[in-house]
Amino acid sequence: MQIKKLSLPGPLIIKPKVFSDKRGFLYDMWSLHTYFKSGIKSKFVEVIHSYSKKNTLRGIHFQYPNLQGKLITILNGKIYEVIVDIRKNSPTFAKWCSIIIDSKNKEQLWIPEGS
């Protein structure tokens, strides 16, 4: 597994190790032990599967006061994800970054609690 930081502190791009052969591929979408060793120490309490038609715009997602981390995995297609720091006391308040996540490269986006 490879981890890449984004320009904002907290969110990470995760490139899992993919095992491919003539039948297809296999990879861990989540492993508590592996992700914990990599600094992602959240325990998931729910998993949500969403489907959007092409050119769909989804809304802002943040939780307060019950903070939640998000691990985003694209099963088919790609998304343009924008992350904005809305924490008023943060040194990066109002800064943002964006990334395209594509199902072809199997990358995941981790957005930790409070980010």
The yes-or-no verdict on residue 91 having pLDDT over 90 is yes
Of 8-17, 54-63, 90-99, which gets the smallest average pLDDT?
54-63
Average pLDDT over all residues of the chain: 88
Of 10-24, 62-76, 93-107, which gets the smallest average pLDDT?
62-76
Closest residue by Cα to residue 81 from 31, 1, 6, 3: 6
CB atoms within 10 A of CB 74: 18
pLDDT tens-place string over residues 8-45: 999 999 999 999 999 999 998 888 888 888 888 887 77
CATH superfamily of 2-47+68-111: Jelly Rolls (2.60.120.10)
pLDDT exceeding 90 applies to what percent of the chain? 48
Beta pairing class for 108-111 and 24-26: unpaired
Residue 92 has what pLDDT?
A: 92
Q: In the chain, what are the domain boundaries?
A: 2-47+68-111
Residue 41 has what pLDDT?
A: 84
- Evaluate whether 92 touches 9 at the Cβ level (below 8 Å): yes
Distance, in Å, from the CA atom of 73 to the CA atom of 29, rounded to the nearest integer, reads: 8
Residue 25 has what pLDDT?
A: 94
pLDDT exceeding 70 applies to what percent of the chain? 98
Q: Average of pLDDT values for 66-83?
A: 89
Q: Average of pLDDT values for 41-52?
A: 82
